[in-house]
Amino acid sequence: MNSDIQNIIASVGFPIALSMYLLIRIEGKLQTLTDSINELSKNIISMR
């Protein structure tokens, strides 16, 4: 795993590798947030 990360950093540079890592990590959290917002709006509609 470490050698994979080192190869990515060596080939694309540290800022790009860091950006890719952060985007991959945040994607799951954004999906969870989107699902929660959708569920909340359904609940609000059903209360009317």
- pLDDT score, position 31: 93
Q: What is the 3-state secondary structure (H, E, C) of 1-48?
A: CHHHHHHHHHHHCHHHHHHHHHHHHHHHHHHHHHHHHHHHHHHHHHHC
- pLDDT score, position 1: 67
Q: Nearest CA to 14 among 6, 24, 25?
A: 6
In the chain, what percentage of residues exceed pLDDT 90? 46
- pLDDT score, position 38: 97
Collapsing DSSP to helix, strand or coil, 13 comes out as coil
The pTM assigned to this predicted structure is: 0.55
Give the model confidence (pLDDT) of 11-31 as tens digits. Answer: 888 888 888 889 988 998 999
CB 8 within 8 A of CB 18: no
- pLDDT score, position 13: 85
